Chain A
Amino acid sequence: MSVDVKQLEVGQDLPGLTKRMTIEQMSLPLWSGGNKIHFDEEFARAQGLPGPIATGEMSVAYISEMLTRAFGADWVRGGRISFKFVRSLYAGDTVAVRGRVTGRHPTHSGTRFDLDVWCENQDGATVTAGEASVIVTA
């Protein structure tokens, strides 16, 4: 499941993901939390939006899946991430999920990888941007 971290260098991109956002997924009770801004067209327009917006945490879940594929158990047991939602995602959007190594540092418990992580919409605009770190213990 994990990338061979011995070959992961600063400046290298992680294997990315492509996702497609649907109104059915945005409307799931666990994801919307009942917040009409995520599924109710009329309510969203009253907020000045062109339509319902996905909760940004869906894009962070995409990033987490990419990090799980790359770093496996080390991400699941102790990863860190900071992120900011820059633009909204809408039903029908295609999302490119990306990560790039920005640092590689020895620590007492393993090698810490620092990464830029982000999601782009189909127009190439960043919708979510952040930084993550993972200590690889193997």
Chain B
Amino acid sequence: MPDDKPPFDWDHVHVGQRFANEFDLTPEMVAEYTHGVDDQTEWWRGDSPFGGPVAPPLMLSHLMAKVSANDFAPTSGRVHTSSSTQVVEPVRVGQRIRIEGEITEKYIKRGRRYFRMTCHAFGEAGNELLREERESLFSLQKVEGEGT
């Protein structure tokens, strides 16, 4: 069955567009995340001051990029450029996570196309875990004749 979802690009993303995605935060995901950055902290896989394993506090920030995965075809080239992030609660491993996001701005700067998005992550009890505002490039490639 062909995937008829649009690419995540300038033409298919608009301000006010909202996304949501849910996934189980598994020990295997945490292990892959920590392996990728050589983080051997015991709290992420064993005992912690929070009564069991918790995720590295900015892991959900990285997973915010998946918030639009249900709405668009896989699209390469997007580049995260900056963020402002607040950890609200420790993130217990093994729970269902819901991420919500909204496009708040779309603009061209120095010939490149950017978007801004606000995101929130919630635990399975509906408790907020992390909030973030992030700016990304749709692509590194410049748009001829646009921007300054």
Contacts and interface: CB of A to CB of B under 8 A. Distances in A.
Interface string A106-136: 0000000000000000000000000000000
B120 to A, nearest CB: 15
Contacts of B106: none
Interface stretch (B9-17, B30-38, B97-105): B30-38
A20 B37 CA distance: 9
Given A28-B32, A31-B33, A81-B58, A76 B43 contact: yes
B19 to A, nearest CB: 15
Nearest to A84: B82
B92 to A, nearest CB: 11
A76 B90 contact: yes
Contacts, number: 127
Contacts of A41: none
A5 interface: no
B108 interface: no
A6 interface: no
B78 A82 contact: no
Interface in A1-32: 19-20, 25-26, 28-31
Contact of A33 (B29, B61, B66): B66
Contact of A34 (B29, B59, B76): B76
Contact of B58 (A40, A64, A77): A64
Tell which of A49, A72, A85 has the most Cβ of chain B within 10 Å: A85
Contacts of B85: 80-83
A64 B86 contact: no
B41 A65 contact: yes
B80 A82 contact: no
A31 B36 contact: yes
A48 interface: yes
Contacts of A40: 76
Contacts of A33: 65-66
A73 B33 CA distance: 19
B57 A68 contact: yes
A76 B87 contact: yes
A57 B50 contact: no
Given A53-B79, A81-B84, 6 more contacts: A30-B29, A60-B83, A61-B59, A69-B41, A82-B82, A83-B82
10 contacts: A33-B66, A57-B62, A60-B61, A65-B39, A68-B57, A73-B90, A77-B87, A81-B84, A83-B85, A85-B79
